[in-house]
Amino acid sequence: MSSQAIRVGLLGIGTVGSGAFTVLKRNQAEIMRRAGRGIEITHVADLDVARARAIVGEGVEVVADGFELVRHPDIDVIIELIGGYGIARQLVLEAIEHGKHVVTANKALLATHGNEIFRAASRRGVMVAFEAAVAGGIPIIKALREGLTANRIDWIAGIINGTTNFILSEMREKALPFASVLAEAQRLGYAEADPTFDIEGVDAAHKATILAAIAFGVPMQFERCHVEGITSLQSEDIRYAEQLGYRIKLLGIARRRELADGSGGIELRVHPTLIPSRRLIASVEGAMNAVWVKGDAIGHTMYYGKGAGAEPTASAVVADLVDITRMFTSDPGNRVPHLAFQPDALSDIRILPIDEIESAYYLRMRVADEPGVLADVTRILADSRISIDAALQREAGEGENQTDFILLTHRAIEGRVDAAMARIEALPTVLSKVVRLRMEELS
């Protein structure tokens, strides 16, 4: 073992930062046996200096200015746990420019500025490790980048936001509306005071962007990810899905698709999705995360665990520190590439716009309870080359003259479904906008 310990500067000692400090200190002996040398957090930067000092105790230098750490000559590795796109980007790029390796849990930063950051790191010969950026303590980045490197990845489907999964689980189990479950999630600490990034799907889209880049060897393209959240999801759709043998989950999906003209494309999307209840991922409840991967050689694999929290996320941060320590003196050309593929071999395959993706669909509409409605709707779908897999019509109550009508379709191109929905909504017997949810068999 080397006698020279790796010296680490920690930017931000909030929930994850304090967890990383605790795990590293508690498991120091075990980590040294694995890494071959000691790993010490010697410096911390946090705006709340007094609170930071209370957490780390004696022997660790605490400052308010993160730039002191990224420029410090005695620090080997920077852990960035500040979050956001602004100051975090500046600090990471400055750390790289000063020849320091970086560990980050910042999925927003990587999804939006990862291409710039990885180019800078390659130029300076340093590593940027980011296992904690996706699915907390689940080692999905390492699995995709190393464990599945022999595979051509067909698709990834992930429950990668615990807040939305908790909300959807509660809506299903307790038959409660979205607003009341969100309030409960905030009370329990599963949702932030401002939950927008979670409930609108943005957080999951950041993570899906990272997974797609590693799975398919493409640059980060967050701006091309289609994003829908769960704010407009209705309790009745969760109930109808259950009756039809499905559960609704907010999924991040990245799928390779061969097109009819012989070209290729990648679907990159986040949205509420109907999944057959028999699928293992459909049983992932509460704030847990799961990522399902289909490779050509291995087939199906699923990775499950806690996607957030102090110590689960700290587990991934410290694992990245150990990886960097093991490779500290290695030739940069022999290290695992940031996005699994060699930087000069990234693909320019197209990210498909949402109207070109292919999916099965759940369609719900409020219709007049009279003869001929089903025939009119099915004729429009047939004209658009959309075939029906199943139908459910709620019997109208006594004295009612309208009812809910639900159709499940076979796989179809989204643009055709959009056009068919517009024609269906124009029918005089259709009394509402059509609720459209996508369905995935994951087979």
Residues that are catalytic: 207
Place of tokens 């259950």: 242
Between CA 238 and CA 175 the distance in angstroms is 9
First vs last C-alpha separation in the chain: 47
Give the DSSP letter string of 340-381. SS-GGG---PEEPPGGG-EEEEEEEEEEESSTTHHHHHHHHH
CA distance 140 to 118: 19
Q: Which helix (H) or strand (E) holds 435?
A: strand 435-439
Answer yes or no: are the C-beta atoms of 440 and 271 closer than 8 Å: no
d(CA 427, CA 367): 9
Residue of 86, 378, 122, 405 lying closest to 240 (CA atoms): 405
Q: Which residues contact 226 (CB under 8 A, 6 or more apart)?
A: 268, 269, 270, 271, 353, 354, 357
Output the DSSP codes for 65-106: -HHHHHT-TT--EEEE---SSSHHHHHHHHHHHTT-EEEE--
Q: What letter represents residue 209's amino acid? A: T
Residues 117, 102: Cα–Cα separation, whole Å: 10
Pair 314, 26: CB distance under 8 Å:
no
Question: Where on the phi/psi map is residue 57: left (φ > 0), alpha (ψ -120 to 50), or beta?
Answer: left
Which two three-digit tokens encode residue 308? 């957030």
Contact 221, 211 (CB under 8 A): no
Among 64, 71, 63, which Cα is nearest to 92's? 71
Q: How far apart are CA 6 and CA 325, in angstroms?
A: 7
